[in-house]
Amino acid sequence: MLAKRIVPCLDIKDGTTVKGINFVNFRDAGDPVELGAQYSDQGADELVYLDITASHEGRKTFTELVKKVAARISIPFTVGGGINELKDVDRLLSAGADKVSINSAALRNPSLINEIAANFGSQVCVVAIDANMENNGWLCYLNGGRIPTDKQLFDWAKEAEDRGAGEILFTSMTHDGVKTGYANEALATLADSLHIPVIASGGAGKMEHFRDAFILGKADAALAASVFHFGEIGIGQLKDYLHHEGINVRI
């Protein structure tokens, strides 16, 4: 069985790492390159860097920052935000990123998933889905949780897989930053219906939440931000805990 992955996420706004609650009320969490280097040293399996206002502001993702991160860390990292065409993917991979995450652009132009998979391989293409629980269903959102769409989480995730996505990064907007646990029921439904890895995002507050995401939610990876950024949970400590709970992690 593949080891479960622990993935710190760095949301970048105006060149610094920030963290919000339910996608608003952001506070500063530090230098993205230094934080990334720390997490790499501490045993994180991967990192995700998201330029959280790039799509909303209609600009391209931070190539120079990607180069600095690549020079400092020794683990794979994914970059997202403002990726709209193959040239963006090529630029970020050339700068040192291992994968790209697309969200708003994929919802607006689903064939972008096919194009990335065909040109760079499915392993490069992470489709991020921000969804909110509304009227007993999970509705997908554009532009960092600002604009609702008519897409439903499970249908869209399946379509993304069929188009060539290599992973699904599902963030529950309902759970984001409130630290009460991941959306495990929805995660399990995704895991059961897809053949590609599912990354859990939104809701980590204590170590038990990671355990539950892997056991109840059947997630392949668990992504978190504030618990790592503000020193509430150490990555080594978390992996030791998960190992003792019988979960296969890289120690």
pLDDT tens, position by position, 88-97:
999 999 999 9
Question: For the chain, what is the radius of gyration of the CA atoms?
Answer: 16
Q: Chain centroid to CA 83: how far? A: 15
The alpha-helical segments, DSSP class H, found in the chain are 32-42, 54-57, 63-72, 86-95, 104-108, 111-120, 153-163, 184-193, 207-215, 226-229, 235-244
With beta carbons less than 8 A apart as the criterion, state whether 147 and 181 touch: no
pLDDT tier at 23, thresholds 50, 70, 90: very low
DSSP state of 158: H
Name the token pair of 46: 């991967």
On average, the pLDDT of the chain sits at: 90
DSSP state of 143: T
The mean pLDDT of 127-143, rounded to a whole number, is 93
C-alpha dihedral sign at 147, 10, 122, 137: negative
With beta carbons less than 8 A apart as the criterion, state whether 85 and 175 touch: no
Task: Supply the pTM of this predicted model.
Answer: 0.92
pLDDT > 90: what percent of the chain?
Answer: 74
DSSP state of 4: B
Q: What is the biggest distance separating any 2 CA atoms in the chain, rounded to whole angstroms?
A: 46
pLDDT at 72: 94
Q: What is the DSSP string of 38-52?
A: HHHHHT-S-EEEEET
For residue 179, which of 211, 210, 219, 206 has the smallest C-alpha distance?
Answer: 206
With beta carbons less than 8 A apart as the criterion, state whether 105 and 127 touch: no
For residue 196, which of 145, 143, 132, 121 has the smallest C-alpha distance?
Answer: 121
For residue 247, which of 223, 224, 205, 213 has the smallest C-alpha distance?
Answer: 213
Active-site residue numbers?
11, 130
pLDDT tens, position by position, 147-157:
999 999 999 99
